[in-house]
Structure 1
Amino acid sequence: MRFAPCLLVLCLLALGPAPARAEVAEFAAPAGDGDQQLVIYSSLDTDLAAPLITAFQARNPGVAVRYEDLLTGTLHDRIVAETGAGGVTADFAFSSAMDLQVKLANDGYARAVITADTPAWPDWANWRDTVYALTFEPAVFAYHGPSFADTPPPATRADLIRWIADHPDQAQGRVGTYDIARSGVGYLFLARDQDLYPGIWSVVTAMGRAGVRQYPTSGELLERIADGRLAFGYNLLGSYVAEWARQHPDVGLILPRDFTVVVSRVALVPEAAASPELGSAFLAFLMSPDGQMLLSKTLRLPAVSLEVAGQTSPAGGMQDLSGLRLKPVPVSPGLLAYLDQATRQRLIARWNRALSGK
C-alpha cells in the first residue's frame, strides 16, 4: 500500500442493518428531451450532491438525474436485491460505507471501469478498477464554542478523559457520538480506535460516566452541538463538521492530535446498472480534475487527485493536516473483516459494557 503525500479521499462505511430512509430528488435534463436518465444511489446528502450533478449536467445537458439519498446499509441491500431479482439497479453508487462497497465488488455486483484518470489513481484508493476512493475524510472532534469559553476544548483522547473528570457538571449529558449499532461510520471509527489505541476503552468508560448521547447521523449530532445541547462530539465525519462550522460560528472543529483516523467515500458502477455508460461517465467526471476540484472546494471534501492536491488545501476547508498522525483506511478486501457479524456483536457488546461502567 502506497501513501503519496497529499492524496485525498473521504467518508465512511456501514455495518449491520440500518433503518430504511430514502429521499428522492429529480434533476431534469437542462436540454433535449431528457430521454437519458442517470440513476444514483448515494449516502451523500442531496444538498451536497446537487452541485456535482449540476456540473455534470452542464457537460451532459441531455441527461436527467434521479438521485436517491439512502442510508449506507439500505444502499447495499437495494443493489443486492435488485440485481438478485434479475432487474436493473442504480447506474452509480457513492457511499461512505467503505466495507459494504468493497463487499459489493468482491461479491460480483460491481463492474470494472477504467477512466482517463485511473492510471494515476493511488493504489490504496482503487481496488481492481471496481471501487474507487474519491475523498479523504478525517474523524474529528466537534465542540460548542461558548461552552469552552474558559477552557480549551479537548485535542486528544487523554484530554477528553481529563475534561470529563475535571468538569463533570459541564460534561454530564453533553458529550455526543455516533450510535455504533446504527451508524456504519461510527462502528468503523470505534473498530479503528480499538486497533490503533490500547486506551480507547478508558475513553469510552469516561464518556459513559458523562451520560454520552448517541445518534445515528452527523446532522443530529451537529444540530445539538450548534445550539449547545451538546458541548462536545467525539469522532464525527470531518466534512460535515467543517460545513457546519462554516455556517454556524458556535461550532468548532479539532483534528485529534494523538492520531486521526481517515476514511473515504467510495464509488462504483453496479454490474446490473440500467445505463452503465452514464454511471461510468459520472465516475469519470468525479475523478477528473474538474470533479475533484468541485469536491474539494465547493463541498469542502478533500480530493484524491494529485492535480487538485497541488491546488487546494489537503484538508478541504479544514485545518492543515501536516504534522498529524493520519491513519487512513485503504480500499481493500481487508475491510471485509469489519463485516463479520460475530466480531461486530462482540465489539458492540463491549461498547455497551464500557458505557455502563461494567
Structure 2
Amino acid sequence: MNGVVQLVALLLISLMPLRVAAQEAVALFGDGATRITLRSTADITIIRPVMERFVAENTDLSVSYEQWGSNDLFANSRDACDGSAAPADAVFSSAVHHMVWLVNAACAGSYQSPATSALPLTRRWRDELWGITEEPAVIIYNKKAIGDADAPQDRFALLDLMRTKPEFLRGKIATYDIDASGLGYLFAHSDSHEATTFGAMLEAFARVEAIATCCSADIIRGVAEGRFLIAYNVLGSYVESDLNPAVGVILPEDYTLILSRGFMIPKNARHKDEAGRLLDFLLSAEAQRILSNIGLVTAKDPSESGLLPSARRVIAISPALLVALDRNKRERMFSLWDKAFEIYNIP
C-alpha cells in the first residue's frame, strides 16, 4: 500500500507545473524590418527615452524589449547558452556578477569598436562584456517622518539612529531580499568586502526587525507612503526616475557603491551586428546624456552629485565578481542575512 501511495505522489508531482523563468513585461520600439531582441533588467518606463532615440536614428531596426527580473534573466541566459532556450540578441543586466559568469562560461560573443575600446578597464572585460551606466546604491528616507537634518548621511550615522531610536524604526527599514534580487545580493556581497560596518549593520537590522523584500519600485513606494521610513542600498537611478518629493536621497559619505549595468551579445545571437550598433549607440555621447537625464549615469563632479571622488566605489566588471557566486560564500551570506531579516513580499 505504501508503494502505491508513493507512486501516486510521484505521479502528482510530475504533473505539477514547473516554474519557468519568464519576462515581466514586453515593449516594441520602432517598426524597422530587422527586429532585435533585448532582454534587460531595466524597467521599460525608465529606459524608454533611450530606446526610442535609438530606433529613431536606426530606422531599419526595431527592438523587442523584454523586461526581466535579474535571477530569471540569468536562468534564461544560461538556458540560451546551452541551446535549451531561444537566445536574445543582447542581454543588459544590473546583476553584473551574473554577466561575468556568462562570459566566463563562453556564452558571449566578441565585439570591438572605438566606443568599447574607450571604456575604462573597470567597465569592460575581454571585449565580451561592457558597463553602460553608472548608478549609485543610495539610502532613501521618508522626508515627512525624518527631517533632512536628522537623515543619516553615512552608515555610521544609520547605525547610531538604529541604536538610539529602535522603536521608531522597528519594522520600518527595508532593503532588497538577496534571494529574490541578484542586484541585492551583489550589493550585499560588495558591502561585505568594503565595509567595516557590515557585521554591525546586520546586527542592527536584526534588532530593529528590518525587512528584506522585493523590488526597487515597491521599496521606493513603501518609503514614499510611510510604510518604511528608511531603505538601504536602493539603486539610485530608480529613485531619481520616481521623482517623489516625499523621498529623500542620500549618497553615503563613507562610501557609495557605483554599479555599471552589463551589456553582452550572446555567442548565438541572430543579429550580432545590429546588437553591436545598439551597444555603440548606448555608449555614444548622445545616449549617455539621455541616460544621465533619466538617472542611469551619475555625475562625477562633486558639485553636481554631492559625492566626493574618494567616496566612489565602482563595482568593477572583472573575474573578481565570480567570487560572489562561490557556493560556500553564498551559503555563508544567506545564513547571515536570514538571521537578520524577516523576508516577505509586499502585496
Q: Where on the TM-score scale, by shorter chain, does this alignment land: which range? A: 0.7 to 0.9
CA contact (8 A) 1:112 1:129 kept: yes
Instruction: Report the Cα offset of residue 181 of structure 1.
Output: 1.5
Identify if the C-alpha distance between structure 1 residues 321 and 350 changes in structure 2 by more than 3 Å, giving closer, same or farther: same
Partner residue, 1:96: 94
Q: Superposed, which structure 2 residues align to 1:77-92 within 5 Å?
A: 77-85=75-83, 88-92=86-90
Partner residue, 2:277: 281
Instruction: Report the Cα offset of residue 126 of structure 1.
Output: 0.9
User: Which letter does structure 2 place at the counterpart of 1:290?
Assistant: E
1:158 corresponds to 2:160 = no
Q: 1:39 aligns with which of 21, 30, 37?
A: 37
Distance 1:151 1:243 in 2: 24
* Secondary structure of residue in 2 paired with 1:241: helix
Partner residue, 1:140: 138
User: Which letter does structure 2 place at the counterpart of 1:340?
Assistant: D
Q: 1:352 aligns with which of 332, 338, 341?
A: 338
Identify if the C-alpha distance between structure 1 residues 315 and 144 changes in structure 2 by more than 3 Å, giving closer, same or farther: farther
CA contact (8 A) 2:29 2:62 kept: yes
Partner residue, 1:59: 57
Identify if the C-alpha distance between structure 1 residues 327 and 26 changes in structure 2 by more than 3 Å, giving closer, same or farther: same
Q: 1:339 aligns with which of 321, 325, 332?
A: 325
Q: 1:268 aligns with which of 258, 261, 264?
A: 264
CA RMSD of aligned residues (A): 2.2
Q: 1:209 aligns with which of 204, 207, 210?
A: 207
CA contact (8 A) 1:89 1:273 kept: yes
User: Which letter does structure 2 place at the counterpart of 1:339?
Assistant: L
Instruction: Report the Cα offset of residue 323 of structure 1.
Output: 4.9
What TM-score comes out, normalization by structure 1 length?
A: 0.85
Instruction: Report the Cα offset of residue 119 of structure 1.
Output: 2.8
Instruction: Report the Cα offset of residue 35 of structure 1.
Output: 2.3
Distance 1:332 1:150 in 2: 37
Distance 1:221 1:19 in 2: 23
Distance 1:19 1:149 in 2: 42
Partner residue, 1:307: none
Identify if the C-alpha distance between structure 1 residues 293 and 317 changes in structure 2 by more than 3 Å, giving closer, same or farther: farther
* Secondary structure of residue in 2 paired with 1:214: strand
Unpaired runs of at least 5, structure 2 = 1-18, 343-347
* Secondary structure of residue in 1 paired with 2:37: strand
* Secondary structure of residue in 2 paired with 1:327: strand
Instruction: Report the Cα offset of residue 22 of structure 1.
Output: 2.6
Instruction: Report the Cα offset of residue 27 of structure 1.
Output: 2.4
CA contact (8 A) 1:144 1:252 kept: yes
* Secondary structure of residue in 2 paired with 1:314: coil
User: Which letter does structure 1 place at the counterpart of 2:313?
Assistant: K
Instruction: Report the Cα offset of residue 168 of structure 1.
Output: 2.6
Instruction: Report the Cα offset of residue 333 of structure 1.
Output: 0.9
Distance 2:85 2:340 in 1: 45
In the TM superposition, what whole-angstrom CA distance separates every residue of 1:286-325 from its partner, at most 9, and x where no partner exists?
A: 011112111112x12117xxxxxxxxx3379973322552
In the TM superposition, what whole-angstrom CA distance separates every residue of 1:8-45 from its partner, at most 9, and x where no partner exists?
A: xxxxxxxxx9975431112241xxxx321011000000
CA contact (8 A) 1:300 1:316 kept: no
CA contact (8 A) 2:186 2:324 kept: yes
User: Which letter does structure 2 place at the counterpart of 1:326?
Assistant: R
CA contact (8 A) 2:223 2:231 kept: yes
Q: 1:325 aligns with which of 299, 311, 336?
A: 311
Distance 1:230 1:212 in 2: 9
Partner residue, 2:28: 26
Instruction: Report the Cα offset of residue 195 of structure 1.
Output: 1.1
Identify if the C-alpha distance between structure 1 residues 106 and 323 changes in structure 2 by more than 3 Å, giving closer, same or farther: closer
CA contact (8 A) 1:125 1:330 kept: yes
In the TM superposition, what whole-angstrom CA distance separates every residue of 1:265-305 from its partner, at most 9, and x where no partner exists?
A: 110111111111111110010011112111112x12117xx
Instruction: Report the Cα offset of residue 80 of structure 1.
Output: 2.3
Distance 2:56 2:214 in 1: 35
Identify if the C-alpha distance between structure 1 residues 143 and 350 changes in structure 2 by more than 3 Å, giving closer, same or farther: same
Distance 2:285 2:63 in 1: 22
Distance 1:281 1:240 in 2: 26
Identify if the C-alpha distance between structure 1 residues 316 and 187 changes in structure 2 by more than 3 Å, giving closer, same or farther: farther
Identify if the C-alpha distance between structure 1 residues 201 and 20 changes in structure 2 by more than 3 Å, giving closer, same or farther: farther
Structure (1/2) with the larger helix percentage: 2
CA contact (8 A) 1:172 1:211 kept: yes
* Secondary structure of residue in 2 paired with 1:249: coil
Partner residue, 2:184: 186
Identify if the C-alpha distance between structure 1 residues 320 and 175 changes in structure 2 by more than 3 Å, giving closer, same or farther: same
Instruction: Report the Cα offset of residue 354 of structure 1.
Output: 4.1
Q: Superposed, which structure 2 residues align to 1:2-17 within 5 Å?
A: none
Distance 1:144 1:18 in 2: 37
Distance 2:96 2:81 in 1: 20
User: Which letter does structure 2 place at the counterpart of 1:301?
Assistant: L
Distance 1:132 1:123 in 2: 9
Structure 1 outlier segments of 4+, above 4 Å:
17-21, 315-318
Of 328-337 and 162-171, the range deviating more from structure 2: 162-171
